[in-house]
């Protein structure tokens, strides 16, 4: 195995692979209005990502939704508020001169 492949394997083994569902507050993950999967380096990073994921087909207000994170076995790891998508950063053109 090459050094690069070894580093990649080590990074993936330390990463978390989780499922997320956006559900009505207090809802069951089976009632998910949106769902997906994510890789993250930590639980904190997974929370931030799932709480701000884009879900364009959702009609519900963000405050009426929460995020459920589950491990691959389906066990709930974390549940918390859905914050809605973060506005994309727009590139600022460089100042002249």
Rg of the chain, C-alpha, whole Å: 17
Count the residues in the chain: 97
Q: Tens of pLDDT along 29-81?
A: 999 999 999 989 899 999 999 999 988 777 778 789 999 999 999 999 999 99
Cα separation values, 19 from 40, 76, 86, Å: 11, 9, 20
Q: Structure pTM?
A: 0.74
DSSP, residue by residue, 53-89: ---TT--S-GGGEEEEEE-TTS-EEEEEE---PPPPP
């Amino acid at each position: 195995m090459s050094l690069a492949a070894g580093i990649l394997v080590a990074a993936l083994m330390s990463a978390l692979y989780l499922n997320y569902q956006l559900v009505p507050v207090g809802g069951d993950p089976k009632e998910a209005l949106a769902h997906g999967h994510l890789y993250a380096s930590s639980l904190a990073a997974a929370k931030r990502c799932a709480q701000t994921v884009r879900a364009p087909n959702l009609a519900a207000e963000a405050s009426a939704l929460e995020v459920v994170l589950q491990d691959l076995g389906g066990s709930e790891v974390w549940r918390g508020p859905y914050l809605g998508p973060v506005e994309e950063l727009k590139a600022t053109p460089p100042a002249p001169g």
